[in-house]
Amino acid sequence: MAKKQGKYTKKLTSAPSVLGFAALGSKKESEGPMADYIDILNHDSMFGQATWEKAESRMQQNVSEKAMEKSGLSPDEIDYVLAGDLLSQCIGSNYGLRELGVPQIGLYSACATMAQGIGLSAMLVEGGLADRAMAITSSHFCSAEKQFRFPLEYGGQRTPNSQWTATAAGAVIIGASSMPPYIRAVTIGTIVDKGITDVNNMGAAMAPAAAQTIQRYFNDTLTGPDNYDLILTGDLGFVGSALLLQLMEREGYKMKPKHADCGLMIYDRESQDVDAGGSGCGCSASVLCSYIMQSMRAGKINDLLFVATGALMSTVSVQQGESIPAIAHLVYLSTKAN
């Protein structure tokens, strides 16, 4: 049964396990450093569909099917699916998974959705409310640009601190098993708003939320960076990652040797013209569900803090001059059950 550890962290004593995982990407992702680890790479960013939004729904359908295939499970063996995306009313998830036939819990934490989904899935299993739960999320460059910025036909100029929304998706199935990696603890973040209003500067908006959640976890667990092989954020990009390290060092945590960011891993900034790096729900989800999970299964990474970050603005709030609230959720994964 889960136990409260400190004020913000839940320790999962039964250590729910990652039963299966899958990642999906498109053409841009196939040209990046993670390509060899991603399960499904489709150079057609339309995924055979008529619209970008329908393409994203197909992405969620495909990645969920792949995760179940790899884990040897059918939809009847999944108790809940926890899914979300960046589109209004999470239509990528709702339309993509409507034929799955599994009770669905819709989520929205923007780019923090994968950590939120994994954390809640693990708590459902820990509490005996589910034998197995699946967390899924996605993003699509074209559907996100169309909704949050400008249609591609507009030809708008990108700023150096902007990030490239990944056309990618990830799915994780969680249940009771003796197979690592295990989910050992969850820290649900709170909203942080430092008054950033530039929608092209997501890294600066999200970094303070990541710093707060990580510090709270360290305080609750009496641990620090040296207790972990990797502290993986997503998706702060170049600007947000630098700011996070500064904020953490100000609090006495030298995190640089242990830190990596999904937004800096999924693309090659030197050759792929992605400005400050990658972003989008699918960015951290696909990196986690490919290279990272495979590395944990191989014993190359044993103790991981996965800290996904999300900017919680909408097109309406931006047009009304609101600042950008952000949130970060943390999941501790380990190859050791206790």
- Please determine, for residue 147, whether its predicted confidence score (pLDDT) is greater than 60: yes
Q: According to the 3-state scheme, what is the secondary structure of the chain?
A: CCEEECCCEEECCCCCEEEEEEEEECHHHHCCCCHHHCCEECCCCCCCCCCHHHHHHHHHHHHHHHHHHHHCCCHHHCCEEEEECCCHHHHHHHHHCCCCCCCEEECCCHHHHHHHHHHHHHHHHHCCCCCEEEEEEEECHHHHHHHHCCCHHHCCCCCCCCEEECCEEEEEEEECCCCCCEEEEEECCCCECCCCCCCCCHHHHHHHHHHHHHHHHHHHHCCCHHHCCEEEEECCHHHHHHHHHHHHHHCCCCCHHHEEEHHHHCCCCCCCCCECCEECHHHHHHHHHHHHHHHHHCCCCCEEEEEEEEECCCHHHHHCCCCCCEEEEEEEEECCCC
What is the arithmetic mean of pLDDT over 100-129?
97
> So what's the pLDDT on residue 338?
83
The model's pLDDT over 175-221, given as tens digits with 9 standing for 90+, comes to: 998 889 999 999 999 999 999 998 888 899 999 999 999 999 999 99
> So what's the pLDDT on residue 145?
77
| 8 Å CB contact between 190 and 329 | no
State phi, psi for 279 to the nearest 5 degrees.
-160, -170
Q: Within 10 A of 73 (CB to CB), how many other CB atoms are there?
A: 17
- Please determine, for residue 155, whether its predicted confidence score (pLDDT) is greater than 60: no
CA 239, 242, 246 angle in degrees (round to 5)?
A: 135
152 pLDDT band, cuts 50/70/90, is low
- Please determine, for residue 126, whether its predicted confidence score (pLDDT) is greater than 60: yes
The single-letter code of the amino acid at 338 is N
144 pLDDT band, cuts 50/70/90, is confident
> So what's the pLDDT on residue 158?
64
Q: Looking only at Cα atoms, what is the longest distance across the chain?
A: 53
- Please determine, for residue 319, whether its predicted confidence score (pLDDT) is greater than 80: no
Whether domain 3-175 has CATH 3.40.47.40: yes
Beta partners for 165?
A: 279
337 pLDDT band, cuts 50/70/90, is confident
150 pLDDT band, cuts 50/70/90, is low
- Please determine, for residue 266, whether its predicted confidence score (pLDDT) is greater than 90: yes
The model's pLDDT over 164-174, given as tens digits with 9 standing for 90+, comes to: 799 999 999 99
Beta partners for 104?
A: 81
Q: Within 10 A of 251 (CB to CB), how many other CB atoms are there?
A: 13
Architecture of domain 182-334 in this structure: 3-Layer(aba) Sandwich (3.40)
The model's pLDDT over 85-98, given as tens digits with 9 standing for 90+, comes to: 999 999 999 999 99
The model's pLDDT over 23-69, given as tens digits with 9 standing for 90+, comes to: 999 999 999 999 999 999 999 999 999 999 999 999 999 999 999 99
Beta partners for 172?
A: 21, 135
- Please determine, for residue 160, whether its predicted confidence score (pLDDT) is greater than 90: no
For the chain, what is the mean pLDDT?
94
- Please determine, for residue 250, whether its predicted confidence score (pLDDT) is greater than 90: yes
> So what's the pLDDT on residue 315?
79
- Sorted by where each begins, the domain ranges of the chain are 3-175, 182-334
Asked if domains 3-175 and 182-334 share a fold, the reply is: yes
- CA–CA dist 73, 112 (Å, integer): 26
What is the arithmetic mean of pLDDT over 140-162?
69
1 pLDDT band, cuts 50/70/90, is low
> So what's the pLDDT on residue 239?
95
- CA–CA dist 111, 79 (Å, integer): 24
Percent above pLDDT 70 for the chain: 95
| pTM beyond cutoff 0.75 | yes
| 8 Å CB contact between 237 and 163 | yes
Please confirm whether the linkage preceding 235 is cis (ω < 30° from 0). Answer: yes
